[in-house]
Structure 1
Amino acid sequence: MVNADKAQPSDSTVMQWPIELLRGIAALMVVFAHYWGLAGVKAGLFVYFITGVDLFFVISGYVFAPYFFGKTLHPQSFFIKRFFRIYPLYACSLLIYVFLKFSTSQEAKYLVTHLFLLYTTESREIAFYYNQAYWSLPVEIEFYLFLPALAYIARLKGGLFVMVAFALVLHCVIAFFSPTDMRMANNFLAFSVHLPGLLIEFLLGVIAWQISRNELTARARFLMIFAGAALWVIAAWVFSFYFARGGDNAVMENDVLRGNIGLFAALAFMPIVAALGRFGQRAPPWLRIVSVWLGNLSFGIYLFHNAAPQILNLCGVIAPPVVFAALCIILTFLIAQVLYVWVENPSRNYGRAVAS
């Protein structure tokens, strides 16, 4: 969901395509997590694909990790670039979802709350009213806002270790005291979708960046990727088992799983990101091209994939479930590509120009 700002000038070519590939994979995971029902297939491990959001968080921590280790941060320039990277495309997507509400004779409520990205401070219903995927944007912005302070603390002696330990303990407390029923909202449930509950996932990305600075052998990279993938599959199997028994509430009733689903996924993604983050030019040109393309479209895919089924339904498209899901994917990519050319890339370049 964020642009891969270059860690160091000399690293720009080396780190670009692997991070863009991971960003594209994260977006596609979220799409599959929401589309398995449309395709008429059993949920299975597809349910756990929702943790593509957590991969986004780890990537964000990785991309901005250099600021934790001495890279100069100019807050004004940084915030300007972040605003024009995120908000114009988000505002465009909000207009589309508002139009879809009107087109189905539904009320376009909570507009002010959504314009200021405050929807996750009120209720689950408000946060999901237009687009379920919107929930992750406020915590990303919170990470950006607190980045100067986090980077300062990390540069103190033992600062990063203390911060990671504190973030982990804070997450565990919030997860433990979250309600066992998703319908029973409390302050701890609200904290779980904001920086207090999710900071540890961003910091795991910072650790992944630190690990990737080492000269990793091919064997080490393979073992890290294998270990991360194995952990993810195990967590996915456990989650899908409980989810099949009773949905989100069955997961929330388990003291180990409650509030920790994203953390387990982030722990699995950390070694994978570390192993692939500086994979460099060891790939055919077509893979680098496809990776950058997917990364460029990832934010649009994430924002608009929940609009695609509504648009097709509005147009009266009727097709078998698998075909309908495939059409939704094609439409999602088409919308993301068009708006990347017309909105996202121009606004990002404008932000960079203003910031410089």
Structure 2
Amino acid sequence: MNKKLSSIQAARTIAILMVLLVHVGAIARAVGAQQQVIFLDFGSAGVDLFFVVSGFIMSVVAAERERNPTVFFTKRFLRIFPMYWIFTLVWLVMSVIVDRGATDGEFVLRSLFIWPQFELPYLFVGWSLEHEIIFYGIVGVLLTLRAEQYLAVILATLFAVGIANHVALPDFFDRPPFWDYHLLSLYHFDFLLGVLIFRFRHRLILKQWRTVIFLSLLAFPAIAYFLLPFFEGAVLPTQPEGALGLVRVLTFGVASAGLIIGLWSAEQYSPSHIFAWSLANRIGDASFSLYLSHHIVFAVIAYTVLKIGIPAVFIWPLLLIAIGVAILFSLAWYDKIEAPYNRMTGRAFRTTTPRPAT
């Protein structure tokens, strides 16, 4: 398999740009123009796309590279936690300076260690990492048991039980779902789709990839337009519950899977044509840094806008500038901090991990 996985790289780029679109609304709220950007809430599906990508990537990892569970867990820890700690602590310092209030130390510690929580973590984008960590834990346990071939079955089972907890209990028995630490998350459906796409990737190379990509991209705003009126506050929830939550996960998950299948097919038919834009590849490389940092960048811009008093008429140029600043910051951070750090940890594993005999 192509080590670059250009199609997955493109999916990462699209996913993070969608997340930026939904979160840039914080700046719109600062100037009282939130109603002008409500249609951007389809960007919530960017997280679903990230989850499907994770399902695909972890299948690659389990099948080709990291059958040693100790190496697997160590790499995941080093890849995620240090960068997450840095941006969480930056947000903590900013919050203390601006709010000048006390901070719940236990809550901050739970957030730092990405412990599954009912509420959003301190750096709120970390909520999706809670689901990722649970998924990595499932993969790691199966690697330990040498049973990674059952990953799809396990995810399907957890998803089915999750429907009973998060849909049947609140909708049919009028009882809140019991707290499951995301073990029965409906988002397991997204991870499952990524696993299945990897497993059947050779059968999913479609000549009509242009149509598939176009329809998948069109599906995201169409689904959001249909679902938004049913949710209180006209905001798609991060933790889906009930029948509407299930519909949200199913529809955004299928649209995300369709996009990845289209991109995967495009890579097989015309890789040099569709993945030639170097900036898109660079954004894909920096997607983790951008995901962690954009909220902080947007908050600084929103605070500045409030202090200066920029009128709402300038909202669209302001939002474009904010997204550009967030991307430029993440690219610089990736080049100067994250990429060198990844190379350093990668060299450590190459020098300490013996190569297999075959």
d(CA) in 1 for partners of 2:255, 2:237: 23
Residues 103-149 of structure 1: per-residue CA shift (max 9 Å, x gap)? 2123333221222112x42x32xx24x33211011211221222134
Residues 305-342 of structure 1: per-residue CA shift (max 9 Å, x gap)? 21123223555454333343233223312331232123
TM-score normalised by length of structure 1: 0.80
d(CA) in 2 for partners of 1:330, 1:178: 44
d(CA) in 1 for partners of 2:129, 2:238: 24
Aligned match of 1:29: 18
Change (3 A) 1:326 1:196: closer
| Equivalent of 1:113 in 87, 90, 110 | 110
Change (3 A) 1:116 1:192: closer
TM-score normalised by length of structure 2: 0.79
Change (3 A) 1:233 1:148: same
Residues 233-275 of structure 1: per-residue CA shift (max 9 Å, x gap)? 44222212324x6435999999531344233211211122122
Aligned match of 2:192: 203
Change (3 A) 1:246 1:329: closer
The residue correspondences of 1:145-156 to structure 2 (distance < 5 A) are: 145-150=137-142, 152-155=146-149
d(CA) in 1 for partners of 2:23, 2:203: 37
Aligned match of 1:237: 225
Deviation of the 1:231 alpha carbon = 4.5
d(CA) in 1 for partners of 2:90, 2:319: 20
CA RMSD of aligned residues (A): 3.3
1:134 pairs with 2:126: yes
Instruction: Give unpaired runs (5+ residues) of structure 2.
Output: 351-358
1:272 pairs with 2:259: yes
Change (3 A) 1:196 1:283: same
1:311 pairs with 2:311: no
Moved more, 255-264 or 29-38: 255-264
1:321 pairs with 2:318: no
d(CA) in 2 for partners of 1:251, 1:24: 20
d(CA) in 1 for partners of 2:197, 2:36: 34
The higher relative CO (CA closer than 8 Å, separation ≥ 6) is in 1
d(CA) in 2 for partners of 1:284, 1:276: 12
Q: Using the aligned pairs only, state the percent identity.
A: 21
Structure 1 contact 61–203 (Cα < 8 Å) conserved: yes
Deviation of the 1:47 alpha carbon = 1.5
Structure 2 contact 204–261 (Cα < 8 Å) conserved: no
Aligned match of 1:77: 71
1:42 pairs with 2:36: yes
d(CA) in 2 for partners of 1:210, 1:32: 31
Task: Give the number of aligned pairs.
Answer: 331
Change (3 A) 1:308 1:241: same
Aligned match of 2:135: 143
Instruction: Give unpaired runs (5+ residues) of structure 1.
Output: 1-7
d(CA) in 1 for partners of 2:329, 2:175: 35
